[in-house]
Structure 1
């Protein structure tokens, strides 16, 4: 009795379920497994990447607030490879172009500064959110792919019933187990993808808000210089 139970358990192990599945279900399982591995790679990449971006913004803003001279700070940090530094550099570059000729068009300069720094922020967020759509795609598609494998496995079970002319559990269990296993893999890929997508979208929105606040503050500083005629 115990030997039979152990044999059944081994037959229904994940590896055995994959090996005894037909080629369609195997393709579904392999595709979902690849999607799961890809999802976790993206999740880990974003985990370290977003943490590094937030720290770099903190450091840049702290140094910016401590600086007394914008030109000196630009020479020191303007070529930095961080999101905040690139937004800052875009603003300084436009400021120099717009104030090079006299008289200075103050309203036009303000408008161009806002446009240029807004575009710089949008570009940073686009680069930061790259591949985030993959998480959304996996989260929405993987359950349906798993469901396809489930339907196919159940169809095989009904075919086995017709072929054996028996409704014995031994006849239908393999096909149903394969079907449910495909569903499980689909959920294993989809659930982390959905959770990570929502979490990282929220964090990216927070980073975008911080960059916009920095751009607005820098825009205000430059506007004061325009008003003072500097």
Structure 2
């Protein structure tokens, strides 16, 4: 292949505007790949930690022990663990005020909902950037291509005889912009769809846990005949119905 038609030669021979477009697209592509790798490991970590916490939660460990572990792990724990800690913390605060069982559970559920939203905001961070890259990059590349073709034809207007050999380099330079635009957009599209699916699954798991834990608290504090509201106990009470 003629060296003049290598990617580097085409980029170096392109007009200033096309070179700027190419530099912008390469920078966007690099930022996109950075977000992709960080998001991949962040979601994978959240999923694995959530699996570990759910297994421990339904194993019969006492709520107090789980709450203490959640406090000790702080930000290093699972997103689901932090949701649980928020609900348990609010429950314990309200219980000290000797409120009725309905108020206790509703307050705990609201606290978990707020924590759920914070965790989802953190997990979804930079996802909109990938969506923007996926939708905008092809058009930016197309702009560079159109500009490059215009520049090539303006240069050809001064020639007495136009052949394919004189047209090809200018057109090839312009088409590089479209190729780079697609190179930036395609991975962003694939990654966005992949991450959106995983995030939706985590969201469903968090939402389901919030309702299940609220039901556990409701059963724990619901007054039995001849008794008042009980404090949340440990062990089998944290297991779902029918669990062994």
Counterpart in the other structure of 1:3: none
2:121 to 118, 122, 126: 126
- Give TM-score scaled by structure 2 length: 0.87
1:111 to 89, 106, 114: 106
Contact 1:160 1:171 in 2 (8 A): no
Looking at structure 1, the residues matched to 72 and 60 of structure 2 have their Cα atoms a distance apart, in angstroms, of 16
Looking at structure 1, the residues matched to 151 and 214 of structure 2 have their Cα atoms a distance apart, in angstroms, of 66
Report how many residues are paired: 222
RMSD: 1.3
* 1:159-178 superposed matches below 5 A: 159-178=154-173
Counterpart in the other structure of 2:175: 180
Counterpart in the other structure of 2:89: 93
Counterpart in the other structure of 2:67: 74
Which stretches in structure 2 are left out of the alignment for 5+ residues?
Answer: 224-228, 231-244
User: Cα deviations across residues 107-163 of structure 1 (Å, max 9, x unaligned)?
Assistant: 222222222111111110100111111100100110000000010011012102211
Q: 1:15 deviation in Å?
A: 0.4
Higher helix proportion, which one? 1
User: Cα deviations across residues 77-132 of structure 1 (Å, max 9, x unaligned)?
Assistant: 33322201110110011101111112x23222222222211111111010011111
Pair 1:22-2:15 in alignment: yes
Moved more, 216-225 or 105-114: 105-114
Q: 1:198 deviation in Å?
A: 1.0
Contact 2:15 2:151 in 1 (8 A): no
- Give TM-score scaled by structure 1 length: 0.92
Looking at structure 2, the residues matched to 62 and 201 of structure 1 have their Cα atoms a distance apart, in angstroms, of 24
Change (3 A) 1:114 1:166: farther
Over 3 Å off, 4+ runs: none
Q: 1:167 deviation in Å?
A: 2.4
